[in-house]
Amino acid sequence: MYDPLATKKEQEEIEQAKDIVIQAITETMDIYGAAPSVGRLYATMYFVDKPITLDEMKDMLEMSKPSMSTGVRALQENGMVNRIWEKGSRKNKYSAEKDFFKSFISFYCKRWEREYKENLQAISESLAVLKTIIDDETCDEAMREEARQYYNQIEDSKRYYHWLERLVDSFYSHEIFQFIPKDKE
Amino acid sequence: MYDPLATKKEQEEIEQAKDIVIQAITETMDIYGAAPSVGRLYATMYFVDKPITLDEMKDMLEMSKPSMSTGVRALQENGMVNRIWEKGSRKNKYSAEKDFFKSFISFYCKRWEREYKENLQAISESLAVLKTIIDDETCDEAMREEARQYYNQIEDSKRYYHWLERLVDSFYSHEIFQFIPKDKE
DNA sequence: CAATACGTTAAGTATAAATTGAACAAACTT
DNA sequence: AAGTTTGTTCAATTTATACTTAACGTATTG
């Protein structure tokens, strides 16, 4: 048998090693718009290999169950946590997505999609209004020129949104990894 | 001369056309972590072609000057607004970055850089701690196995962070546009 | 069908962010 | 140097977000 005191010391060192990473993930989770406690929830779950219940989360973070419920839902919506079906258990179980590539794609593509969809929709409506003014030859020329200027600026921005669309596609299709490989060659 | 009533109607239509896009940009600016008022500030500035002062912003948004000061600084830090030096004027002037590609790169690369730097730093420290346990042959084998498991998981995550690093590089160098061109070919 | 367990909603509280007017410091003007 | 102008910081208020306890609806078990 090993020295129980040394064993305890090393157990603490493992916890410490884990905590260093948990702390860093928690810190950088603000990039993903997560409140600190939600960041900590994800970081904590990242080191739990089996799916866990809301009650286990609440015990780990020493927080309330509703907080875990809303927190885990937020993470789920970002694709950072998955719900796992476990036979025999009627409790919902969740596990952290350990593949950061997946989380990245899920998180950013969702936002980028919203960005280009909402803006392209607005652009289409806006350009239609401006076009009627530009095409109206009875209209004041200075005003038509102003309309043309806005028209061109807005029209030009479509270039970015369509690029964003292709960027999203390349992530969803994983084609991006042909250009920027997961492993450095 | 043109009919002043029709002229006014068309002037309003131009404003309406602009507002449609301003509204959409404002809405999607939450993706960039901007408070609604800061999003509106950027969207408003996007349609002003000349650099403007804090006082002009405050008049346009009907808000206080300190709000404009903090708002414009936040946008500056994201690379969405640039400070412009204008001879003769001792007021600071700012203009919105109209190149969305630039804003995109500036915003995301800053965050991604922070993500991989902070985490790789933590990972390096954490792995060092785990390694001493793994290499300590006097240590309890179950514990060493546990350390190995965490070690592998953490080591594996470096793959993602290094990929993120290369992604950032490809944006800063514009090489990304070789793979996903700004214009669809 | 009663009893329990589970997850969510609701309501209330606490904490954090945004906003403003007032005060301040720095730089320019005369 | 006195008086302005400009931008920021400060303190106070409002507003929004996060969190908790309690209550609820649903499903499951005995």
Task: Report the predicted TM-score, pTM, of the whole model to 2 decimal places.
Answer: 0.94
Q: How many Å apart are CA A160 and CA A178, to the nearest integer?
A: 22
Is the pLDDT reported for residue A7 higher than 90? no
| Averaged confidence pLDDT in chain B | 95
Supply the pLDDT for residue B4: 63
Supply the pLDDT for residue B10: 86
Supply the pLDDT for residue B70: 97
Supply the pLDDT for residue A1: 55
Element (H, E) at A158: helix A141-172
Average pLDDT over residues B50-56: 97
Distance from CA of B91 to the nearest CA of A (A): 27
pLDDT digits 0-9 by tens, B116-151:
999 999 999 999 999 999 999 999 999 999 999 999
Supply the pLDDT for residue A88: 86
More confident residue, A30 or A1: A30
Average pLDDT over residues B91-109: 97
pLDDT digits 0-9 by tens, A140-171:
999 999 999 999 999 999 999 999 999 999 99
Q: How many Å apart are CA B142 and CA A61, to the nearest integer?
A: 26
Backbone angles phi, psi at B95, to 5 degrees: -135, 145
Q: A20 and B126 in contact by Cβ < 8 A? A: yes
Supply the pLDDT for residue A163: 98
Query: What is the domain partition of chain A in residue ranges?
Result: 4-98, 103-179
Task: Name residue A96's beta-bridge partners.
Answer: A81
Q: B132 and A13 in contact by Cβ < 8 A? A: yes
Considering only CB atoms, A122 lies closest to which of B21, B132, B143, namely B21
Q: Which residue is nearest to nucleotide D20 (CA to C1')?
A: A64
Average pLDDT over residues B160-171: 98
SS3 A29: helix
Q: Which residue is nearest to nucleotide C16 (CA to C1')?
A: A35
Average pLDDT over residues A72-89: 95
pLDDT digits 0-9 by tens, B73-87:
999 999 999 999 988
* CATH code, residues A4-98: 1.10.10.10
Supply the pLDDT for residue B3: 62
Residues with CB under 7 A from strand C: A 53-55, 65-66, 69-70, 73, 90-92; B 35-38, 63-67, 70-71, 90
**pLDDT exceeding 70 applies to what percent of chain A?**
97
